[in-house]
Amino acid sequence: MSILARACAATVLVLGGCRTEVPEPTTIRDAFARHVILQARGDYEALYGLLVKEARDRIARTHENLRRCKEMIEREYPRHLQRQALADLGPPEVRDAPTPARFYAALLGASNRPTLTVADRLKSSVRQIAKTEHGTLVVTTVSGERSEWIEEGDGRFYRVPDEEETARLQEEFLRSVRSLETTTAAVKTFDRLR
């Protein structure tokens, strides 16, 4: 069975509601099929592993900043201020995420498997794969959806977040930096007042 046939079969099985093995992302078609299967399952925690290293690193730094804020608030803030300070960090599933992958899933609000429509099925069927001048690969689906991928030197392909996702990840990172600065300053103030 060809790679394309395997990817299409995996897509049809998943979108049809059947269980199927998730292919390893060692070819662009298998990487795309893996993405489609995981997305159909609503498994955003596993989708984190398909992101390019730069995006995973940014998410990990954001997660670490919020984790540090949460620890300082719980350890150093006066009890009556803790609840609001923790709420300011985000909902519990975001601020309590134990790993960057779980944090990413919580950011995307991936608690339920998405409902798949006919349009979603068209978004999962590959029409074309083209190489860009930067060496990345762009997968275009039958519906015209595009996703950019790159092989990062380990024999696996990774997804480059689109502009909207990149902007959201950057916004969350900057928010986490500001939260860390604010929390650190508040802790210093509380120390002086003791």
Q: What is the pLDDT of residues 27-78, one digit of tens each?
A: 999 999 999 989 888 899 999 999 999 999 999 999 999 999 999 999 999 9
Position 144 scores a pLDDT of 85
Q: Rounded to whole angstroms, how far apart are CA atoms 50 and 41? A: 15
Query: What is the number of domains present in the chain?
Result: 1
Percent of the chain with pLDDT over 70: 82
Phi-psi region of 140 (alpha: psi -120 to 50; beta: other; left: phi over 0): beta
pTM over 0.85: no
Question: CB count, 10 Å around CB of 109?
Answer: 11
Position 118 scores a pLDDT of 52
Strands 146-151 and 137-141 turn out to be antiparallel
Q: Are 28 and 157 in contact (CB under 8 A)?
A: yes
Lookup result for tokens 């059947």 = 18
pLDDT of residue 80 exceeding 70, the answer is yes
Mean of pLDDT over the chain = 85
What Rg, from alpha-carbon coordinates, does the chain have?
20
> Residue 136's domain spans which residues?
3-193
Q: Rounded to whole angstroms, how far apart are CA atoms 167 and 123? A: 22
pLDDT of residue 2 exceeding 50, the answer is no
160 SS3 class: strand
